Structure 1
Amino acid sequence: MASRLDQLVSSPAAGLDEPFAMLHACHERMQRTLALLGRLEAHVAEHGADEQARQAARDVARYFDNAAPQHHLDEERHVLPALRAGGDPALAVLAARLENDHRAMESAWAAARAVLQQIADGTLARLDPEQEQSLQSFTQLYAGHIAAEEGTAFPTAEARLDADAVRAMSADMRARRGAS
């Protein structure tokens, strides 16, 4: 493991002026953070909840407590409505699935976060099989979700939104993040 487990969590450069580039960058960061979570599991199995593990657990929790909910809201406010607006039943089904994924991710995050909190607090020396499963289930939810968004949802929504809608999306993303 690297000297700091969270080295993989640095953000790709993307600004709110290009909201779809920002959504893609968020996915890259999610994937890095999920990779960190996987490395954290392996580290705890070998070294316990040492300071590196505690810091990594805090970093993963911070990302999924703060940035991930904003990202999901971006999608629900802008991407999913664009998928539903075209009248294509397959895209409407995809939008419903992605929205349901968000609810499942929220539920899985609650279980995963409880484990990470114990690591961060130093009260958990080793993961039991149930705790390992909660972390792995959380990670697995994102794999298919991100693939569907990157492969179909984002390109379709971006093609359907005109310049005014993209500007409104950007303004909304800025406002909710307190960016100027």
Structure 2
Amino acid sequence: MSGTKVQIGLPGHRAPAAGFEAPFEMLGACHERVERMLGLLGKLREHVKTHGADEQGQQAARDVMRYFDQAGPLHHQDEELHVFPPLLAQRDSAVVAVVIQLKQDHREMEALWALVRAALLALVEAGEGWPGFSAEDQQRFDAYDALYRRHLLDEDGVVYPAARSVIRGELLQAMSADMMARRGVKN
């Protein structure tokens, strides 16, 4: 995998650049970006209370949608294809229980994201009379944020450390190659 370094990370942001040759570092950098996007969603919620559907709020909504539409599903696939299966095969009951919960989280996140996205899209498409986010929207935002933050803690605290001890050598190279291929990155 040497020679190909596609970096994620943005100037001025704390998430480190990570390349596909270091898949776990890339997944970790993705988690930092998720936290930033959740933070942006929180700021957006406050912003629209005062400013309504202005251009700044609409752009923030587009940024959040772009991230969770594109990077989120690929990240979940990375985990479901490469991180979770070796851990399930290890049969460590504590780790297996967390992996099963994380897989369920991914399904719940997909369903919640559709609802959160619909509220954000309404903001993006809103005119002057937009009434703001509903109480139901706010509850969905809270649920999405809480689910994702607990999920990240489980992955960073339990699953990734366990996976690093199992996924090495050829498995790690295969993980890296697949992550690149699914993103259309040439080796």
TM bucket (normalised to shorter chain) is: over 0.9
Deviations 1:122-160 (A, max 9, x none): 243411211111111111110110000000100100111
Specify the alignment match of 1:171 in structure 2: 177
**Alpha-carbon distance in 2 for matches of 1:43, 1:119:** 12
Aligned counterparts of 1:53 and 1:12: Cα–Cα separation in 2 = 26
Counterpart position of 1:154: 160
For 1:79 and 1:8, locate their aligned partners in 2 and report how far apart those are by CA, in whole Å: 30
**Under a length normalisation based on structure 1, what TM-score does the superposition of the two structures give?**
0.92
Shift of 1:9: 7.1
Report the RMSD for the aligned CA atoms in angstroms. Answer: 1.8
Distance 1:103 1:88 in 2: 23
Please name the residue that 1:138 is paired with.
144
Higher helix fraction (1 or 2): 1
Checking the alignment, whether the CA contact within 8 Å between 1:36 and 1:56 is kept in structure 2 is yes
Runs of 4+ aligned structure 1 residues displaced above 4 Å come to 7-11
Local SS of the residue matching 2:64: helix
Note if 1:62 corresponds to 2:66. yes
Gaps of 5+ in 1: 1-6
Query: How has the CA–CA distance of structure 1 residues 134 and 8 changed in structure 2, closer, same or farther, with 3 Å as cutoff?
Result: farther
Q: Which residue identity is paired with 1:17? A: E
State how far apart, in whole Å, the 1-side matches of 2:29 and 2:98 are.
21
Letter in 2 for 1:75: E
What residue in structure 1 maps to residue 47 of structure 2? 43
Is 2:133 the partner of 1:127?
yes
Deviation at 1:10, TM superposition (A): 8.0
Instruction: With the length of structure 2 as denominator, give the TM-score of the two structures.
Output: 0.89
Aligned length: 175
Q: Which residue of 2 aligns with 1:18?
A: 22
**Deviation for aligned residue 1:120:** 0.9
Counterpart residue number, 2:75: 71
8 A Cα contact 1:8 1:32, kept in partner: no
- AA partner of residue 140 (structure 2): S
Unaligned segments of structure 2, at least 5 residues: 1-10
Q: Quick one: which amino acid aligns to residue 26 of structure 2?
A: M
| 2:3 alignment counterpart | none
DSSP 3-state at the match of 2:158: helix
What amino acid does structure 2 have at the position aligned with 1:114? A
